[in-house]
Amino acid sequence: MRSHPASPQSMIAVIGPPGSGKTTVVTALAAHERVSVFRLREAVRRCPDLLAGLPPSTVPLGWVSDEAVVKVLRGMFLEHRFPTGDEPILLDNFPGTASQLRHLASIATSLGRRLSILELRATAATLAVRVAARRVCRRCGPDRHAPARPAASDPARCARCGGELKRRDTDNPHIHALRLARYQRNRPKIAAAATRLHIPHLVLHAGHCAPVVSRLARHLVAVLTDPAPAYRAASHPGSPK
């Protein structure tokens, strides 16, 4: 039988609407702390065999079906394809639905890890401005969805490779509105499921500039990974205004 460390390590699900800065925050955390980062789309890309035999997703907006999510989670975490030691695992932009949260909670239990949620929240106006300004570099970076850093001399070019920066396909205003509406539909159900499952759920107002949000996120992650469960006294946040 596998034994677990005396103070179980954490899995922290980072969720929030498109444009709230999840990937920026998770990337900043990973640069400063010893953490592993899980991204569903990377897992699917790296291990396409996990989805072999499943019909192609018919869900719009490139959403991965719940059946596929279960297969990916099991393959990555229970069959140990996701390389992790005993450091905390951050899940970038996952789960997207209450059902995915329930699957994740059961995986965390199997791994002997404590699951918690860090939710980024910003006003619709802030999100729209950020999404309109956000660019990706198609040339560099293994993840073409990750936000690119513009060059100081020419903001239309990538600071790393000098390539031309482009708007992400899913950031056009129509698709952004659909993705935001989907998030807003799912978010209260995720919060309700978290309450039922006694999963700690902290909310960070992400309307500040990225360095401030990242610093605040580091503090909250320190709270969530603290072996002393002080956070259990925290109240569960209600619905967004």
Binding residues for Zn ion (CB under 5 A): 137, 139-140, 158, 160-161, 163
How far is the C-alpha of 118 from the C-alpha of 194, rounded, in Å? 11
What's the min distance (Å) between Cβ of 165 and Zn ion?
8
Judged by beta carbon, residue 139 or residue 218, the one nearer Zn ion is 139
Task: Supply the Cα-derived Rg of the chain in whole angstroms.
Answer: 18
Judged by beta carbon, residue 140 or residue 223, the one nearer Zn ion is 140
What's the min distance (Å) between Cβ of 15 and Zn ion?
28
Judged by beta carbon, residue 161 or residue 178, the one nearer Zn ion is 161
What's the min distance (Å) between Cβ of 28 and Zn ion?
19
Judged by beta carbon, residue 128 or residue 140, the one nearer Zn ion is 140
What's the min distance (Å) between Cβ of 23 and Zn ion?
16
Judged by beta carbon, residue 8 or residue 163, the one nearer Zn ion is 163
Q: How many residues does the chain have?
A: 241
Contact partners, residue 84, CB within 8 Å, separation at least 6:
36
The residue ranges of DSSP E strands in the chain, in sequence order, are 10-15, 36-38, 89-92, 114-121, 136-137, 165-166, 201-205
Judged by beta carbon, residue 70 or residue 140, the one nearer Zn ion is 140
What's the min distance (Å) between Cβ of 137 and Zn ion?
3
Query: Which token pair is 89?
Result: 């695992």
Judged by beta carbon, residue 11 or residue 136, the one nearer Zn ion is 136
What's the min distance (Å) between Cβ of 146 and Zn ion?
10
To 10 degrees, what angle do helices 173-196 and 124-133 make? 130
How far is the C-alpha of 163 from the C-alpha of 159, rounded, in Å? 8
| CA atoms within a 13 Å half-sphere pointing along the CA-CB vector of 45 | 9
What's the min distance (Å) between Cβ of 140 and Zn ion?
3
CA dihedral 10, 79, 32, 138 (to 10 degrees): -130
C-alpha distances (whole Å) from 78 to each of 27, 117, 126, 164 are: 25, 21, 38, 40
Residue with tokens 């619905």: 239
